[in-house]
Amino acid sequence: MLQYPQINPVALQLGPIAIHWYGLTYLAAFGLFMLLAMRRLHHEPFVSVRGPGAWTRKDIEDMLFLGVLGVVLGGRLGYCLFYKPGYYASHPLEIFYVWQGGMSFHGGMLGVILSQVWFAHSRGKPFWQVMDLVAPCVPPGLAAGRVGNFINGELWGRAADPSLPWAMVFPQSGSLIPRHPSQVYQFLMEGLLLFILLWIYARKERRQGQVAAAFLFGYGVFRFIAEFFREPDAHLVWLQQSTGLSMGQWLCVPMIVIGAGLWVWFGRRPARVA
């Protein structure tokens, strides 16, 4: 049984300005996206696009800028709508209190999708081609975010068998019972493993939309599994007790279904014409 190391969430204090590790993990996520997206431009079909529709570094920079807006705005709104709708309906101004915390992956994903719809429309690029470029570059950023969760000592896991070698005590949970380090599980599954699988899968040209569909399905499955080890939010325990599934799992169900359906549907469409 391990003890949570009590890491200071503030990485650097400059007078009244505090730089938090969690913020740095977001910067790392955006930097990793830029690096990997530039590498994706050397893969098919992006490297073969010529003329006015050719992919450039400026495209990647604009995608990242819009994606950052989508992550922050969508993540915050998603948390308010999915996890505390009653509270924020009564305190609408607190939706803008982002410094109090509260971000949702599923809301952030919807925000990113909307931002890339705008990007694809404004640049005259196929939407699913845009999403195929984006999809394999996302998991490392998710992994960075889980590192931030661990440093903050938040989103801890459910109670674990004390004999489990990596069971960990999180004093922030208000108890000294050993728990699953679910942030680490999510780092390994939704971040590292999903990235490896998607990157290998995307190296070979697929039917347009299949890489994005594989991301939806893969993330949904890995997050669904991880939620069995993650402690539900206190105000949503009733949902897990009454249905057997947590809010995170219910939000993953449509991802899995839609991802699998899109992958099959795209696979039946004619191959891309050069």
Which residues fall in the annotated binding site?
A: 146
CA atoms within 13 A on the CB side of 101: 7
Find the distance separating the first CA and the last CA of the chain, reported in whole Å: 57
Q: Say how far apart CA 207 and CA 204 lie, in whole Å.
A: 10
Strands 178-179 and 168-169: antiparallel
Q: Say how far apart CA 221 and CA 252 lie, in whole Å.
A: 7
Whether 273 is covered by a domain: the verdict is no
Whether 272 is covered by a domain: the verdict is no
Cα angle: 81, vertex 87, 93; to 5 degrees: 85
Domain ranges, residue 60 = 2-267
Whether 249 is covered by a domain: the verdict is yes
Q: Report the number of distinct structural domains present in the chain.
A: 1
Whether 19 is covered by a domain: the verdict is yes
Does the global pTM surpass 0.85?
Answer: yes
Three-class SS of 59-77: HHHHHHHHHHHHHHHHHHH
Residue 84: its pLDDT value, please? Answer: 85
**Residue 181 CA: distances (Å) to CA of 13, 142, 153, 185, 210:** 28, 16, 10, 7, 32
Residue 95: its pLDDT value, please? Answer: 83
Residue 165: its pLDDT value, please? Answer: 94
Tokens of 108: 């952030």
Whether 152 is covered by a domain: the verdict is yes
Strands 2-3 and 168-169: parallel
Residue-by-residue pLDDT tens, the chain, 274 positions:
799 998 998 998 888 888 989 889 989 999 999 999 999 999 988 988 887 778 999 999 999 999 999 998 998 998 898 888 888 888 888 887 766 667 888 899 999 999 999 999 999 999 999 999 999 999 999 999 999 999 998 889 999 999 999 999 999 888 999 999 999 999 999 999 999 999 999 999 899 999 999 999 999 999 999 999 999 988 889 899 999 999 999 999 999 999 999 999 999 987 654 3
| 20 membership: H or E segment, kind and range | strand 17-20
Residue 274: its pLDDT value, please? Answer: 35
Whether 116 is covered by a domain: the verdict is yes
Whether 187 is covered by a domain: the verdict is yes
> What type of residue sits at position 235?
H
Q: In which residue are the tokens 């800028």 written?
A: 65
Tokens of 35: 């690096």
Whether 59 is covered by a domain: the verdict is yes
φ/ψ of residue 2, rounded to 5:
-105, 160
Q: Where are the alpha helices (DSSP H) in the chain?
A: 21-40, 57-82, 85-90, 105-123, 127-134, 139-152, 182-186, 194-203, 210-226, 237-243, 247-267
